[in-house]
């Protein structure tokens, strides 16, 4: 029997945590399907994979998952290439910063579509295939803000609360299968996230040490491979998530620096 080289599909693969996931999977012998908005950036990552791991396949699919219909298109393109996704990493996401009455509604609609709708669609499409095979893993990018409301990042934090709740519900549904799903809950990372969110000058960035994307990705990767249900990356973030269990709801918006 010909052995099957496992394949991981990673969204948001060109920067931040996603780029680190690419390194981890290819180091462990996985082929990868790289998904992000810009083909040129994706090709650079694919070239780097081939340079370091000549025996690994790196398939590039440029797709803006904040656009309606894009998740279905991605699934169809993967099938058209006769690729089987053993691991799905729903990493793509972005946020915005500012008082809700002042922020751009169109941008927030894209945030909601990417962080929630596309994540749900991709999960449903690939999870069905995994359950049929009774094998597979999914990593969902939640956040430490999944545990609390965050003023000035209201839509983003709410979208990440959705991701955590959604993931935990599916974990129960999957309990009698060999398919596992893991929620990764990082804190503020040293990535392009805050620049894209126009939040470089916030207290969250200025007064806190940002997490190393490589460390966050490693924590998520190990939890995924162990079949863990949830991992909060970083001691400070673990404490922050833990105390939300004891802080009265009225005070929770004050817990997260912003």
pLDDT one digit per residue (tens) for the chain, 258 residues: 446 799 999 999 999 999 999 999 999 999 999 999 999 999 999 999 999 999 999 999 999 999 999 999 999 999 999 999 999 999 999 999 999 999 999 999 999 999 999 999 999 999 999 999 999 999 999 999 998 889 999 999 999 999 999 999 999 999 999 999 999 999 875 545 545 545 555 555 444 677 799 999 999 999 999 999 999 876 567 656 656 665 556 655 666 655
First to last CA, the chain: 55
Looking at residue 188, what is its pLDDT? 78
Sheet holding 230-232: strands in order across?
58-62, 31-36, 7-11, 87-90, 136-141, 179-185, 230-232
Domains and CATH numbers, the chain: 7-254 (3.40.50.720)
Q: Which of 68, 85, 108 is nearest to 34 (CA)?
A: 85
Supply the pLDDT for residue 210.
76
Q: What pLDDT is recorded for position 198?
A: 59
69 CB-contact burial (10 Å; exposed 0-12 / middle 13-18 / buried 19+)? exposed
Write the CA distances from 122 to 23, 45, 92, 235, integer angstroms.
22, 22, 12, 31
Q: Can you give the pLDDT at residue 233?
A: 79
What tokens does 14 get? 């060109």
Instruction: Report d(CA 160, CA 210) in Å as an integer.
Output: 19
CA distance 109 to 147: 22
Sign of CA dihedral 38, 41, 46, 49: negative
Distance CA 235, CA 237 (A): 5
Model pTM score: 0.87
Query: What was the pLDDT predicted at 1?
Result: 41
């Amino acid at each position: 029997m010909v052995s099957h080289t496992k394949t991981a599909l990673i969204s948001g693969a060109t920067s931040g945590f996603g780029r680190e996931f690419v390194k981890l999977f290819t180091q462990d012998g996985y082929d990868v399907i790289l998904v992000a908005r810009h083909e040129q950036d994706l090709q650079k990552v694919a070239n780097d994979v081939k340079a370091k791991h000549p025996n690994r396949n790196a398939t590039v699919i440029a797709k803006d998952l904040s656009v309606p219909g894009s998740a279905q298109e991605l699934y169809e393109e993967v099938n058209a290439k006769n690729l089987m996704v053993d691991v799905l990493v729903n990493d793509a996401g972005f946020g915005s910063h500012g008082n809700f009455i002042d922020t751009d509604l169109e941008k927030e609609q894209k945030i909601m579509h990417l962080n929630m709708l596309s994540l749900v669609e991709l999960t449903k499409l690939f999870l069905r295939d995994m359950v049929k095979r009774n094998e597979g893993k999914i990593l969902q990018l939640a956040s430490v803000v999944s545990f609390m409301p965050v003023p000035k990042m209201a839509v983003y934090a709410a979208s990440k609360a959705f991701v955590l709740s959604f993931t935990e519900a599916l974990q129960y549904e999957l309990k009698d299968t060999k398919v596992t799903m893991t929620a990764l809950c990082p804190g503020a990372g040293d990535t392009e996230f805050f620049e894209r969110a126009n939040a470089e000058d916030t207290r969250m960035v200025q007064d806190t040490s940002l997490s190393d994307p490589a460390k966050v990705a490693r924590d998520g990767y190990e939890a995924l491979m162990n079949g863990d249900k949830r991992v909060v990356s970083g001691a400070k973030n673990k404490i922050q998530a833990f105390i939300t269990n004891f802080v009265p709801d009225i005070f929770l918006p004050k817990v997260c620096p912003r």
